[in-house]
Amino acid sequence: MSIVAKEWKPPGVDKVKTWIDDMRVWPNMMYGDIYNFLVESKAVDGQQMKNLNSLQSFNYFHSGNIGITTHHIYDDKTIMFKGDLEVRSSQTVSRTNEVFVHCNEDESIVNGWCLCMACQGHTCSHVGADLWKIEHAVRNNLTGVAFTDENAKWNRGTTRNVEPKPLLNII
């Protein structure tokens, strides 16, 4: 890995020890959130990015080039997503890229990182493909906790282990 690529990792991500594979806690990211991040967000010069080419990442997601996405929730309730070494670059099948996406508690996208050369603007197609994967999971109701995910509290029965006591102690 080159020195330049290391600079494009999120600060402090190397200290994260646990990456969780559980879509139930993913934020409700929708199309508008992705559009706002890829196109409307500000670049380093303060102007809108207007990175319309990054919207092609939707096709990149649908072509099956993204692997497992895991996440880490920080103490401040922000969430960091990690595309785990299976985001293939478009020009080669033999090389993979690591993708990171940082989201706020209010489900807005803060920033994206990728180790590819195109991601120095933080909005390459690899970052976009990971965002589309999250949006796809939300749209198809694969996120969030369902009633069947928790123990059936309503079906525990009515029997209780009642120990006998003298009538004086019951009343």
Q: What is the pLDDT of residues 131-165, one digit of tens each?
A: 999 999 999 988 887 766 666 555 555 666 778 88
Q: What is the pLDDT of residues 93-136, one digit of tens each?
A: 666 778 899 999 888 899 888 877 766 667 788 888 899 999 99
Q: Print burial letters for 108-132: b (CB count within 10 Å at least 16), e (below 16).
A: ebeebbbbbebbeebbbbbbbbbbb
The residue ranking higher by pLDDT, 33 or 125, is: 33
* Furthest C-alpha separation in the chain: 83
For 26, the token pair is 């993913």
In this prediction the pTM is 0.74
pLDDT reported for residue 155? 56
